[in-house]
Amino acid sequence: MAVEPFDTVDLIRTKRSGEPLGTAEIDWLVDAYTRGYVEDPQMAAMAMAIFLNGMERREIKDLTLAMIASGERMSFGSLGKTTVDKHSTGGVGDKITLPLAPLVASFGVAVPQLSGRGLGHTGGTLDKLESIPGWQASITNDRMLSILSDVGAVICAAGSGLAPADKKLYALRDITGTVECIPLIASSIMSKKIAEGTGALVLDVKFGSGAFMPSYEASRELAQTMVDLGNDAGVATSALLTDMEVPLGGTIGNALEVRESAEVLAGGGPSDVVDLTIALATEMLTLAGLPDADPAAALADGRAMDTWRRMISAQGGDPDAPLPAAREQHVVRAPSSGVLATQEALPFGIAAWRLGAGRARAQDPVQAGAGIELHVKPGDTVAEGQPLWTLHTDEAARFERALESLEGAWSIGGSAEERGPIVRDRISG
């Protein structure tokens, strides 16, 4: 049996006392955890020590590289096209990947978008697309390359070969209260994105009540850490800091969000979704060497819609099929006239989740038609009795707990607080 070069408990003690771990120590720790020599309780103690004491920039980079080295590294070199990807830290009603990937691809850039399923109150891109009849999330690497070559955009499930160390560690963090930690989040996200082999990457880092890092300062630090990791690894990376204080757009929930995305691709849709889609597309196209491209024109003239239809069809989906609708609806009406003053993202996300749009455990199913339609946004004038939101679910018994989540989550008053632009800052390397 090979002699292990380090003692796990020594490394935990080092981090527990706030000292940095060396590069060789981090490499060994990640490798030994992946092969099962370092056990879950030991890694949980290490994650908590990192949570409490943080990591230096060099340690975060070492952790990221070690997690990349734990699995396969994809390459899109054979495509002969520039590749650019987007990652969002997740929010309520965040359906931007759906219109964004085909929009950017309509300029001849390849967009390989490896996505996940939702857990908790933030929805997963794959769950949304799976509400389209026939659409398949899992495809082989060869099929992915051929769709990227023919259509330019692909949104699919990440294979289990990418950064397996992160997969194991993220699941452990989820059950040990160690998710909300900048070094761990940054290395987790960037290990997968760098291993995926994209040439450039734009990060949509959310702040506000619906983001999992609500504070603006913490979100900024997370964005800067990830931008540094990407650029250090040779992936041209930039980030937009975007507002997730209120839900994005007018829908939360899988099929409802697909419908809204199709509206954006048809040249309409809510202004916040359109603005963010165009801002992220401009950033992606700039990194891809097309700073003068006009994404708004590609939404208006149908080029992006054409790419969307081809992208959905290439994965077995029928872009013309009616989307599933929930069996039950409940309309919440305005109790008085005035202006919608507040609308907090997180409780709306939780309500949609309770209606069946999201899952509590990774193995749970989701309801395609469940969710919430938002008929008004902060600043809109409302009349007494007017519909504010429509709740959708297949099981009427779910309304009660969803409505509980919405209690105190919105208010009608004389005026709404002024919101700044949805994109609050840009961070580049």
Whether 71 and 163 have beta carbons less than 8 Å apart is answered as yes
Q: Least CB distance from residue 162 to ligand URA, whole Å?
A: 11
In whole angstroms, the minimum distance from the beta carbon of 5 to ligand URA comes to 27
Identity at 403, one-letter amino acid code? L
Closer CB to ligand URA, 213 or 374, in the complex: 213
Instruction: Examine the residue annotation and report whether 192 is marked as an active-site residue of this protein.
Output: yes
- The reply to whether 68 sits near ligand URA by the rule CB under 6 A is no
Is residue 84 part of the contact set for ligand URA (CB under 6 A)?
no
Residue 159, C-beta contacts closer than 8 angstroms, at least 6 positions apart: 72, 141
- The catalytic residue among 166, 204, 228, 272 is 166
Say whether 424 is catalytic: no
> Which of 188, 237, 238, 282 touches ligand URA (CB under 6 A)?
188
| Minimum separation from the CB atom of position 415 to ligand URA (A) | 36
Angle, vertex CA 233, rays to CA 227 and CA 239, nearest 5: 15
244 vs 242: CA distance, rounded Å: 6
Spatial CA neighbour of 32 closest among 50, 7, 12: 7
Give dist(CA 153, CA 254) in Å, integer.
Answer: 20
The residue range among 178-186, 251-259, 397-405, 410-418 that interacts with ligand URA, by the rule CB under 6 A, is 178-186
Point out the catalytic residue in the list 121, 192, 220, 375.
192
For tokens 């992915």, name the residue: 144
Name which of 107 and 170 has its Cβ closer to ligand URA: 170
Query: Any contact of residue 115 with ligand URA (CB under 6 A)?
Result: no
Known catalytic residue at 121: no
Among 47, 137, 153, 185, binds ligand URA (CB under 6 A): 185
Shortest distance in whole angstroms from residue 87 CB to ligand URA: 8
**405 lies in the binding site for ligand URA (CB under 6 A):** no
Active site residue 193: no
Q: Which amino acid is present at 32?
A: A
DSSP, collapsed to helix, strand or coil, labels residue 371 as strand
Nearest position to ligand URA, beta carbon: 188
Nearer to ligand URA by Cβ, of 28 and 170: the residue is 170
For the bound state, the minimum distance from the C-beta of residue 169 to ligand URA, rounded and expressed in Å, comes to 9
Q: Which of these is catalytic: 70, 88, 106, 188?
A: 188
Residue 46: closest CA among 163, 173, 143: 173
> In angstroms, what is the minimal distance from the CB of 185 to ligand URA?
4
Looking at the Cβ atoms of 135 and 170, the one nearer to ligand URA is 170
- Print the SS3 string covering 147-187: HHHHCCEEEEECCCCCCHHHHHHHHHHHCCCCCCCHHHHHH
28, 51, 170, 353: which one contacts ligand URA (CB under 6 A)? 170
Strand 387-393 versus strand 328-333 pairing type: antiparallel
* Catalytic option among 86, 168, 173, 398: 173
> Judged by CB under 6 A, does residue 410 bind ligand URA?
no
Which residues, listed in sequence order, are joined to residue 241 by a DSSP beta bridge?
205, 425
The structure tokens listed for 174 are 């989820």
The CA distance from 40 to 12, in Å, is 13
Contact 240, 287 (CB under 8 A): no
Task: Reply yes or no on whether 188 is catalytic.
Answer: yes
Position among 30, 156, 189, 299 found at the interface with ligand URA (CB under 6 A) = 189
Least Cα distance to 88 among 202, 198, 196, 199 occurs for 202
Q: Which residues bind ligand URA (CB under 6 A)?
A: 170, 179, 184-185, 188-189
Active-site positions?
Answer: 87, 166, 173, 188, 192
